[in-house]
Structure 1
Amino acid sequence: MVDSILLEALSEVFKPLGFRKKSANWYRVSGDLYCVVSVQQSSWGGSCYVNIGFAPAVKVRAGWLPESKCLVRFRVDALASISREGLDLLSGEVAEAREEGDLRVDLVERVVSPVAQAINSIESIQDLKSLLHASVSDQVFIHSEIRDKLLAKC
């Protein structure tokens, strides 16, 4: 249930920002970077995860690249702007105890909008480097191909 409501909330916020939808993913190329936000169902009940991926735009074929193929990947819980209460909304148990309309409003406010604010202006490796240093925890996968560029001091 929470994943379908989350996808509606993502549509509301991400479509006006130029993102396109493919299955449970929202993606776009902006500047030199490709970004994808992916909703993944948990194997453990009705919960879901929100994954974020970035790759140089030149790596993208036909405008699409799954999050699992991105050179930089992390879950939404790595973003400093996402509160514990926001993460709890992604839990199936919490979602089932809430009214659908209230859940959608809270998902927009506590998860979707903070994600959009964090990633909307990321258009270059330097922008991504700044985001990683300022707003993302160490729980990030960074492919060796791009690691040195991103981990060097700002």
Structure 2
Amino acid sequence: MKLARLLALLIPATLLAGAWAFQLIGHLVPCEMCHWQRWPLYAALVPAILAFAPGLRPPVIRLLIALAALGIIASGVIGFYHMGVEYKWWLGPTHCTSQGLPHGGDILKALLAQPLVLCDKPQWTLFGISLAGFNALISIPGGLLTLFLAAKGRS
């Protein structure tokens, strides 16, 4: 269970560190959906840290790891949804996408009401994969692996 416990802590911590690095060092401003992806990772850190508390019985450790893994997977699912919005596979929330802009009427008023960063425009990509896509590619398999390892009790 040592590996599962380590993954439960390192995956959300690393993803959040990367997100904050892109924001603070790379000067990328996160959109609303980017923030949505962070919340389950913050939540996953709590049981992941608690799983390292001394004196815990293995069933409690497994439960804490499973809770962390579910938070990691949730972040990945939101990341996949966000990636789909960016790639125009499906429509996203109109309040944070370019779909919310009217074609007529008071365009200036609508533009001023829009967030500074639109959710359907990736700010950064590598090999055609956005940050939301990388979150999905890391979080979903990583969370599933963590859950599997915790269930099997492997170290």
Higher helix share: 2
Name the TM-score class by shorter chain.
0.3 to 0.5
Question: Greater relative contact order (Cα 8 A, min sep 6): structure 1 or 2?
Answer: 2
Higher strand share: 1
TM-score, normalisation: structure 1: 0.33
Higher Cα Rg: structure 1 or 2? 2
